[in-house]
């Protein structure tokens, strides 16, 4: 936990409900290994939350990284990362969060284009 009172590190929301994170949609994806890689790799200040649906089903598996409270107060917005379907991609995401995440350090090129919620809606809204 962060040393500053009221400060919270990045929060990572991982979709694991209706279709993302399920074998029904992605039969060849090791969802448990992805969750483990994220959970173990985020660092002490970050928190991993599992949610039922993030409403971006066509871009699954979707993960949203909420900035730390300090980064958020500086203007950073939640970052939507799509297609987190491999352990390697989950590790890249976790390493970015461990370094500070949105508003602190740019996302690594390996994650491809990372969107805000508004930007993601422009990319695709099928199934929303």
| Per-residue model confidence as pLDDT tens digits over 22-67 | 666 666 778 889 999 999 999 899 999 988 877 776 777 889 999 9
Asked if residue 105 has pLDDT above 90, the reply is yes
The pLDDT-based confidence of 17 (bands split at 50, 70, 90) is confident
Residue 128: inside a domain = no
Domain that holds residue 93: 11-123
Residue 95: inside a domain = yes
Tally of domains in the chain: 1
| Per-residue model confidence as pLDDT tens digits over 71-97 | 999 999 999 998 898 999 999 999 999
Residue 5: inside a domain = no
Residue 79: inside a domain = yes
Residue 81 is encoded by which pair of tokens?
Answer: 């990362």
């Amino acid at each position: 936990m962060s040393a500053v009172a009221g400060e919270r590190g990045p929060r990572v929301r991982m979709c694991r409900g209706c279709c993302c994170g399920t074998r029904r949609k992605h039969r060849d994806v090791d969802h448990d290994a992805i969750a483990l890689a994220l959970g173990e790799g985020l660092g002490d200040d970050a928190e991993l939350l599992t949610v039922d649906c993030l409403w971006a089903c066509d871009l699954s598996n979707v993960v949203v990284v909420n900035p730390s409270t300090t980064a958020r107060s500086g203007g950073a917005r939640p970052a939507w990362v799509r297609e987190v379907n491999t352990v390697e991609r989950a590790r890249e995401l976790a390493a970015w969060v461990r370094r500070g995440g949105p508003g602190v350090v740019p996302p690594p090129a390996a994650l491809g284009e990372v969107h805000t919620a508004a930007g993601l809606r422009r990319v695709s809204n099928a199934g929303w």
